[in-house]
Amino acid sequence: MINLVLKRSPKFGTSLKVIAKPIYSTALQRSLILSTTNKTYYSTFHSNANSKKGNQDKKIPLWTRIKSFSTFTASGALVIGATGISTVVIYLILTELFSPSGDTQLFNRAVTLVEKDEIVRTLLQCDDTDNKKERLKAYGELYADDKWTRNRPIASNKRIDKNGKEHYLMRFHVESKQKMGLVHIEAVESEKRYQPDFVSVYIDIPGEKRYYLIKPKINRIVRPKGFLGINWGPRKQ
């Protein structure tokens, strides 16, 4: 690089002086200059537009969409079905365990009634003392192959009478260390309480007479009497 310098002299006037100064540039400076000059700037607006245009060109095949829809529908149906079945099972369990008219509550009430009856305890020859009373075992049907009392189901049945009331029939076994008896229960839907009312409760013990804890009420039919207390007319068969 050459610099021109004008210098004024009082004797000779203006003179021209040429000053040559070399410029040293490093390789790093040259590379920066080249990279700056060769740098290209692109617009992000055009790139996004191009990408969207390319995505629109690539359409999803019909079979793939049908397959995805079928998978989603099947999964949704399974989830809804499983939820419905779980709701029904939970409802049945809660009804059986906690409903006042369920078999579990009716069984517990009957067992408590039998355990508190002194005549039943005498017939079963319970080993009772003043300080302690023998605890009775209560369970369902007897099976020769199963010795676990928890696996013996309780026999129960329900029916509707002519008046529209629900009747509950149940039987189970009670056992002491000496004897065993079979308890029969009949209860009817109560009009005043949520719990069914016991109509008949009795126990059969081998070698003993049938004992009624609650005797059923017998409805007697009163026939109308005629003149002078005599029913005139033909006799009905």
Is 185 inside a domain boundary? Answer: yes
CATH classification at residue 150: 3.10.450.320
Contact 110, 163 (CB under 8 A): no
pLDDT tens string, the chain, 237 residues long: the values are: 544 445 555 544 544 444 444 544 455 555 544 454 444 444 454 455 555 555 554 677 888 888 888 998 999 999 999 999 999 888 777 776 677 778 888 999 999 999 999 999 999 999 888 888 999 999 887 655 555 555 567 888 889 888 888 999 999 999 999 999 999 999 998 888 888 999 999 999 999 999 999 998 876 655 655 555 566 655 555
Is 124 inside a domain boundary? Answer: yes
Describe the crossing of helices 103-116 and 62-98 by its angle, rounded to 10 degrees.
Answer: 20
pLDDT of 5: 47
Is 25 inside a domain boundary? Answer: no
Range of the domain at 74: 61-96
Number of domains comprising the chain:
2
Is 39 inside a domain boundary? Answer: no
Close Cβ partners of 183 (under 8 Å, ≥ 6 residues apart): 110, 114, 171, 172, 173, 174, 201, 202, 203
pLDDT of 134: 92
Which CA distances in Å does 71 have to 76, 78, 79, 82, 212? 9, 11, 12, 17, 64
Is 225 inside a domain boundary? Answer: no
CB atoms within 10 A of CB 213: 18
Give the pTM: 0.55
Q: Are residues 150 and 74 in the same domain?
A: no
Q: Are residues 131 and 203 in the same domain?
A: yes
